[in-house]
Each structure stands twice: as C-alpha cells, then as structure tokens.
C-alpha cells in the first residue's frame, strides 16, 4: 500500500474520532439509544420480575418518549462496547460506545470506497475519501446514536453491493450482491428508519429500468430481509417494551400518517434541495461543478446516473413530508459524493493537458481546503452546544474539590441528591455521566474526597411537583437554566456558558475576555471573607461584592481588599479557561491582529450550578 493510500485509509476514522473527542456529549435526539445502551450494559437483561426490574432501573420506563424506539441498535452497541470499557474504565464508557458506532460507520464508508476503486479505478476511490472527509455532517454524526446513523452504515453497505462489477462474467456474482443490498436496505427500513423504504424504492426502480435486476431477485431478497428484520425487531422490542410491538411501524404511523412530525416545524417543498443538501455536501463545487460534469461527460454519464438519479428521486419524494431535517436524507451523501469523485478524478488526471483542466484542478484543491476550514469551524461551534453535559461534568469536579464538614464521620456514607432540569437533560446529560454505585455494601460506593458517597440524580419534569417546596428540600445541588425556579435558598456556585449565535464586533465594541469574566464573577455571586475564605453569599454579600467591584474600578479600595478581589477574579478566569475561557481568549487575540474586528460565535450563560444553602 502506498503512503498516500495508507493516509487516506486512516483519514476518515481519524476525523470521526477527533470529532468525538472535541464534542463528546449528546443531544436529546440521541438520548434514547445512548440511555438504552447504558441500561443494557449496566443492568443486563432480566429473566425474572422483568417489568419490575425495568421500572426500577431502565430509563425508557420513566421517559418513554412520544413513540417507542427500537432496542436493536442499543443491544448490539452494549454487547460490543461493554468488554472494551470494562478494561478501559467506566469513565470512558460513553466515549467507547460512540466510538464503536463511529468505527462501524467508518468501516462501511471505507468498504464503499474500496468498491468504487474496484469499479472505477484507484483515483476515484482516493477522491471519494478526500471529498467525504471534507464534509462536516457525516463525520460529525457518524458516532452519534441517532437511529439514522444506525441506518446510515447499513444503507452505505447496501450502496456498495449495488456498485457495478468490473470485467465480464460477473452476472451471478452481481445478483448475489444485489440481494445483499436489498436485505440491508429492508433491515434498515424495518428496524431503524422507515424513510429508507423510499430509498429502496428509488434504487430498485432505477435498476429495473436499466435492466440490471429482475423482479424475482427483488421479491426473494425482500421477503428474506423482511422476515429477518421483523423477527429481530419484534422479538427484541417486545421484550424491552413488555408488549407486542414493532416500533418503527408505530413511529411511521405517528409521524407520517397522523402528521405529528409537523409539530416540530415545517419547511417548503424545495428546502432539501435549496438548503439541507448543500449543507450536507458542504463543498459548493460538488453541486455546482462536479455532479453536473459527471452527468455531462460521456465517459462518466452512465455510471454517475446510477448514483445521482435514485438519490435525488428519494430526496424529491421525501420532500412531500413537511417536517425536514438533514439527518433524514443523510443516506444519499455517499452516492452523490461518489458521482462527484468520478468527475474530480477525470479533471485531476488531465491537469497537464490544458488550461481548463489546470484551473479545474486548482479549484478542486482550493474548494477542499475551504471545506475543511469550514468543517473545522462548524465542529468548534457545535462543541459549544452541550451545556448540560458540561455542567454535570463540572459539578462532579466541584464535588471532588469540596471538603466534607468537619463534624461528619469519616466512614459515614454521604448522600448527595442532584436535580437536573429539562435543558440540562436535552443538552448533554446522560446516564453514562452519572457516578455509579451498586449494592448496599460500603465498598460498592464511589469514594469522593475520601468518603464513600451515593449520588442520586433526578430528572423530574412534572410542573406540579416542581412547585412543591418539599421537593427542593431533598436536593443538595441543581442544574438550572432558570435559577429562580429553584424554591428555597440556593447559591450559584458556577455558571456554564454555551453557543448563542454569531456575533459581529467592530473596533471599540465590548464582549472582550475580561468583560466575560466580569459577567462570570457577577453570575457566580462569590464573596470573600476578611481572612480570604470563600463563603456562600447572602443578599448583602452580593450587594457588597458589586459595590466593591465598582470601587475597585474607581480606585476606592485599600490594598488588601484590592488584592483579595483581584485574586478571586484571577481564580475565576483560570477556572473558566478550562471550559469556555480559551475561546474568549482566542477571540481577543484575533481582535488584536485585526484591529478590533471579529466575526464568530457568541457565548452566553445557559446553565447555573446551584447548591442549596442549609440552615
């Protein structure tokens, strides 16, 4: 293998793992599968008192969601991930789970790339990898436990099996591959995402029209794949939901037949073509130049039609569904990128034969570098969108640094109750983040600051319950978007910032790093005693802190007090640097070089970490 091919083979898995490292938390759309994977890996599969044990431990019984989801993907992920993170450590469990899914999708993408090389030549496979790696969404979502990304690997493998075989006498082998492709698409549609049925229809219709497949092949493979898929989902999911169920049929009826998906917003018919598809492909040269060129060139027209027509037909038909999201059509990215790689290879191999080819080659390289830069920016912005995960992680750090009261017994088991509000749970909090404890033996409890500790995590959403003072009295900490909803006396011990849009700053505008730190200082409401010890503030403390801060700016405080306030703010700056301050410092550094100009993400306080003030 040449060095360039070894590098390209490692490029996609390396980028997927890099995206996972930079953005390790999950959003609400991923929550069912990540929670289900945790529960299966942690609590196992009960064989007796099943409903009782599910009710006591499994997340889906407490938070079932609008429609039931399949456990098939989570079951496989748990089986593959558990042995790995048992060796690596429980703290790496969520990373391992997502890495396993990401590497599965990596294998599928590289398998597709190898198929392109066999069918159309090595240069086409190389250009496919380069173009695919420079796109943001597939790389970013590859490790995310969305049902679409379980289906994505299967649809990509199916597309591999639909690739033409080079050389004569391949009819029998091509038939077997087509049968495998049909089975994979049927399984993906029956188990994970029903819209794959539309993709199956457009792909098979195109092959039928081209005379490359027979009705008999379609029916035999469809029946085999359908029976296996139905048996898998009904057996697995009826066990976990404790009733006979086919979850994806339920979801199809709820979203498509009843039209409930429109409750999440609707978009115009052409929205996929005018907005989401260009975002998925990212590189504008793919849609504007490479795909039209592949369609126009006689040498690539027939091959590119097999990629382009079924994919765009699927997008057109699915555009009839009013609720539109990029993840619903992400399956067409590999074949459309493959079509683009045909013309990219054609242009690149002729770069020495004329000025147009030379300019086209330069445009290709420039567009890929530009797409990589844009993808990097999108990754950095996306990583700022998980304040819930950041908040719970930071709370655990706070707990490890907080000394226990001197009056408490050293070996006494400490109980800490943590409430997490809706925004926290929607933006990164998962069960994998919880510090686990099992059993009543003291040795089974995690040691925090030298003491065995049982942490209890609460996700209550019921508004009536949240209005009861006695509910809040049982909690020690809370992660809150709106601290005012926490009844009783609470102090803000930290504030987590998150992405809040794009800001455009001109010379002289505010929002500098130091001003952000002033907001952190005020939001955290931390005061300092005369001997330098930090204490929880009451209303007068907060008032004094604000007045002292203003006096400091006017030079009205003495040396000791000035140093005390300055030291506190320096510590706050250091703490915030660990999480979001690095971004702010980078922005101010750029503004120094641009004379004060800046265009980039704006950070705002999203979640406060509260500690209950006990009498």
- For the cut 50, the answer to whether the pLDDT of residue 538 exceeds it is no
> What tokens were used for 21?
């490292």
Which pLDDT belongs to residue 445? 67
Higher pLDDT, 57 or 100: 100
In whole angstroms, what is the distance from residue 377 CA to residue 396 CA?
A: 29
45-61: average pLDDT? 90
d(CA 226, CA 184): 10
Residue 410 CB burial class (10 angstroms; 0-12, 13-18, ≥19): exposed
Instruction: Answer for the pair 23, 140: CB distance below 8 angstroms, yes or no.
Output: yes
- The better pLDDT of the pair 87, 532 is held by 87
Helix axis angle, 333-349 relative to 122-133, nearest 10°?
Answer: 120
pTM given for the model:
0.87
Question: Residues 168, 171, 173, 175: what is their CA dihedral angle, to the nearest 10 degrees?
Answer: 150
Proportion of the chain above pLDDT 70, given as a percent: 84
Q: List CB contacts of 74: < 8 A, sequence separation 6 or more.
A: 32, 33, 36, 37, 40, 145
Q: Is the pLDDT of residue 525 over 70?
A: no
**Residue-averaged pLDDT of the chain:** 87
- Round to whole Å and give the CA distance between 607 and 579: 13
Mind listing the pLDDT tens digit for each residue in 377-434? 999 999 999 999 999 999 999 888 887 766 555 667 788 999 999 999 999 999 999 9
The sign of the dihedral angle between the CA atoms of 91, 94, 100, 103 is negative
Strand partners, 420: 479
Tokens linked to 136: 């943001």
Q: Kindly state the DSSP code that residue 143 receives in the 8-state scheme.
A: T
Closest Cα partner for 101 from 76, 69, 132? Answer: 76
Alpha carbon distance 205, 522 (integer Å)? 63
Which band of pLDDT confidence, cut at 50, 70 and 90, is reported for residue 614? confident
Distance CA 44, CA 51 (A): 14
Tell me the average pLDDT across 57-86. 92
Residues 523 and 532: their CA atoms lie apart, in Å, by 20
pLDDT at 241 over 70: yes
Specify the pLDDT at position 526.
Answer: 40
């Amino acid at each position: 293998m040449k060095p360039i091919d070894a590098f390209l083979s490692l490029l996609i898995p390396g980028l997927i793992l890099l995206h996972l490292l930079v953005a390790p938390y999950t959003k609400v759309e991923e929550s069912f599968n990540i929670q289900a994977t945790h529960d299966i890996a942690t609590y196992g599969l009960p064989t007796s008192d099943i409903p009782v044990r599910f009710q006591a431990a499994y997340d889906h019984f407490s938070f079932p969601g609008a429609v039931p989801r399949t456990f098939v993907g989570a079951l496989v992920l748990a089986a593959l991930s558990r042995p790995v993170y048992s060796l690596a450590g429980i703290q790496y469990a969520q990373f391992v789970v997502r890495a396993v899914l990401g590497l599965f999708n990596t294998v599928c993408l590289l398998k597709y790339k190898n198929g392109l090389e066999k069918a159309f030549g090595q240069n086409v496979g190389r250009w496919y990898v380069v173009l695919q790696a420079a796109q943001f969404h597939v790389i970013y979502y590859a490790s995310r436990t969305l049902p679409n990304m379980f289906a994505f690997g299967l649809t990509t493998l199916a597309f591999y099996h639909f690739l033409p075989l080079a050389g004569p006498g391949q009819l029998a082998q091509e038939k077997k591959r087509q049968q495998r492709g049909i089975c994979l698409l049927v399984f993906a549609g029956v188990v994970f995402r029903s819209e794959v049925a539309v993709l199956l229809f457009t792909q098979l219709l195109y092959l039928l029209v081209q005379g490359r497949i027979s009705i008999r092949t379609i029916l035999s493979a469809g029946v085999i794949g359908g029976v296996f898929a139905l048996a898998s989902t009904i057996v697995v999911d009826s066990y976990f939901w404790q009733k006979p169920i086919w979850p994806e049929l339920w979801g199809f009826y709820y979203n498509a037949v009843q039209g409930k998906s429109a409750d999440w917003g609707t978009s115009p018919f052409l929205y996929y073509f005018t907005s989401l598809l260009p975002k998925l492909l990212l590189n504008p040269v793919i849609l504007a130049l490479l795909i039209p060129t592949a369609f126009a060139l006689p040498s690539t027209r027939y091959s590119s039609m097999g990629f382009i027509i079924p994919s765009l037909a699927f997008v057109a038909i699915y555009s009839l569904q009013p609720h539109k999201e990029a993840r619903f059509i992400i399956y067409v990215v590999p074949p459309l990128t493959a079509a683009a790689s045909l013309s990219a290879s054609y242009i690149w191999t002729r770069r020495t034969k004329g000025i147009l080819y030379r300019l086209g080659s330069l445009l290709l390289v420039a567009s890929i570098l530009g797409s990589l830069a844009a993808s990097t920016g999108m990754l950095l912005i996306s990583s700022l969108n998980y304040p819930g995960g950041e908040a719970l992680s930071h709370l655990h750090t706070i707990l490890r640094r907080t000394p226990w009261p001197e009056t408490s017994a050293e070996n006494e088991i400490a109980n800490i109750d943590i409430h997490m509000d809706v925004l926290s749970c929607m933006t990164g909090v998962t069960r994998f983040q919880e510090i686990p404890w099992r059993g009543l033996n003291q040795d089974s409890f995690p040691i925090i600051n030298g003491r065995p500790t049982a942490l209890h995590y609460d996700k209550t959403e019921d508004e009536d319950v949240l209005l009861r003072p006695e509910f809040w009295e049982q909690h020690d900490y809370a992660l809150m978007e709106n601290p005012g909803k926490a009844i009783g006396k609470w102090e803000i011990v930290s504030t987590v910032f998150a992405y809040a849009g794009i800001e455009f700053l001109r010379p002289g505008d505010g929002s500098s790093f130091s001003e952000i730190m002033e907001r952190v200082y005020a939001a955290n409401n931390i005061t300092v005693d005369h001997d330098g010890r930090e204490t929880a503030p009451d209303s007068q403390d907060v008032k004094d802190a604000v007045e002292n801060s203003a006096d400091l700016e006017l030079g009205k405080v003495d040396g000791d007090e000035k140093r005390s306030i300055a030291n506190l703010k320096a510590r706050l700056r250091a703490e915030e640097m660990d999480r979001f301050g690095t971004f702010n410092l980078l922005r101010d550094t750029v503004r120094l070089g641009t004379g004060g100009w800046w265009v980039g993400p704006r950070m705002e306080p999203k979640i406060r970490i509260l500690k209950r003030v006990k009498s």
